[in-house]
């Protein structure tokens, strides 16, 4: 039996690994595969596996960023992705909802219309963003779940 493990730390960094599970008496038959799996885990730890955070280009201007990463996404996902870009992926940065709404309304075509406050609530319900105080949002570690790309 195979298992995939995905870990996300407090900074939003994600690591993924795969391993084979079996009963103690079945281990002898799987030793050859286990060595390959250990090598894959070592490669991931050493940074040989492309890190998910590197795949997201926060240096893009806002509109191209949204077109690249939010195309086809729902409103709550677009809210989380817009907040991620405005915060440059930093989980500690707090952004005023008025600023998010202002940027959203500058891009009505790629955002599929005007800002809707329900998107923020649904993004919060999905665990992508949080509102530590009234009128302010920040990213949560699982915000990458809003990305339509793997």
**CATH number of this structure's domain 57-146:** 1.10.10
Using pLDDT thresholds of 50, 70 and 90, give the confidence band for residue 95: very high
Instruction: Report which secondary-structure segment, H or E, holds 133.
Output: strand 129-133
Residue 50: its pLDDT value, please?
Answer: 37
- Residue 86: closest CA among 120, 114, 118: 120
Secondary structure (3-state) at 129? strand
Domain regions of the chain by residue span: 2-53, 57-146
Q: Is 111 exposed, middle or buried (0-12, 13-18, 19+ CB in 10 A)?
A: buried
Q: Is the pTM of this model over 0.75?
A: no
Is a pLDDT exceeding 60 seen at residue 131? yes
pLDDT of 49 higher than 50: no
What is the predicted pLDDT for the residue at 126?
95
């Amino acid at each position: 039996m195979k298992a995939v493990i995905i870990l996300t730390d407090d900074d939003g960094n994600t690591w993924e690994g795969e391993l084979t599970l079996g009963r103690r008496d079945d281990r002898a038959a799987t030793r050859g595969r286990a060595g390959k799996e250990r090598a894959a885990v070592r490669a991931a730890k050493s940074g040989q596996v492309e890190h998910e955070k590197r795949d997201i280009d926060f240096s893009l201007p806002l509109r191209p960023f949204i077109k690249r990463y939010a195309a086809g996404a729902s409103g709550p996902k677009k809210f989380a992705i817009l907040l991620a870009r405005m915060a440059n992926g930093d989980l500690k940065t707090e952004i005023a909802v008025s600023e998010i709404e202002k940027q959203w309304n500058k891009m009505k075509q790629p955002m599929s219309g005007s800002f809707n406050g329900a998107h923020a609530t649904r993004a919060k319900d999905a665990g992508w963003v949080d509102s530590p105080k009234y009128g302010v949002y920040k990213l949560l570690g699982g915000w990458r779940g809003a990305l339509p790309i793997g």
